[in-house]
Amino acid sequence: MNTLLKIDGLQASYGHAQALFGVSMTVDAGQVVTLLGRNGMGRSTTIKCLFGLLAAKAGSIVFGGQPLARMASHQIAQLGLGLVPEGRQIFHNLTVEENLVATARAPRAANPLAPWTLPRVYRFFPRLQERRGNLGWQLSGGEQQMLAIGRALMTNPRLLVLDEATEGLAPIIRTEIWNALAALKQQGLSQIVIDKNVGALLKLADRHYVLERGAVVWRGDSQQLRAEPQIIHQYLGV
């Protein structure tokens, strides 16, 4: 398969405290990959390095054949990386529609996927169309997460990254989000997903990376992870 993202030997620190110790992972075109682990084990730190929000001390990140070292966050985003951040971080004083168009970008020529437009996002999340005139703060948590995903899709990413995809959502809304991510996978959109719902991730993802204290301690596909429940219990506490 065509490798879209390759992270090799990534090290990072917060001040004098080292947070990542040689993290390596790959995402192939069209694949869904997870980062698993307890809080504070390096999942979000890896994402921060990927998006240029935290400088790497060592190692390399290559996306679509382009090394990301020393690139600014906006330049990295323009290459085709879309982020749905932890906590959603929508613009609470803008309407749904204003949120969607605020950071919208036309797809790059290198992006083989069908372009995301406002009508397409509304077809994908009909509830956003119903609430398009509402301000961000007037939305429920589930609607805010749909908006955060829709906003990321409007940047026309080649790789969508979701940090805590369903955290704090009601079960029925979680199901809607998982169904949406499965539909995006069927459409060929590569994804990195961080979440604590291992059961849903086993159904969705092609490959899993388990982090413990800033290092990858296990990697494999869903069939392999199902066959090793002790990994889930030891490193995820599930």
Q: How many domains are there within the chain?
A: 1
Both tokens of 176, joined, read: 């809607």
Residue 200: its pLDDT value, please? 95
Residue 201: its pLDDT value, please? 96
Query: Does residue 36 contact residue 210 with C-beta atoms inside 8 Å?
Result: yes
pLDDT tens digits, residue range 107-144?
876 777 889 999 999 999 999 999 999 999 999 999 99
Residue 87: its pLDDT value, please? 82
Residue 238: its pLDDT value, please? 56
pLDDT tens digits, residue range 10-64?
999 999 999 999 999 999 999 999 999 998 899 999 999 999 999 999 999 999 9
Domain of 171, CATH number, reads: 3.40.50.300
Tell me the pLDDT of the chain averaged across its residues: 93
Residue 1: its pLDDT value, please? 65
Average pLDDT over residues 171-182: 95
* Per-residue pLDDT at 86 exceeds 90: no
Supply the range of the domain harboring residue 219: 3-236
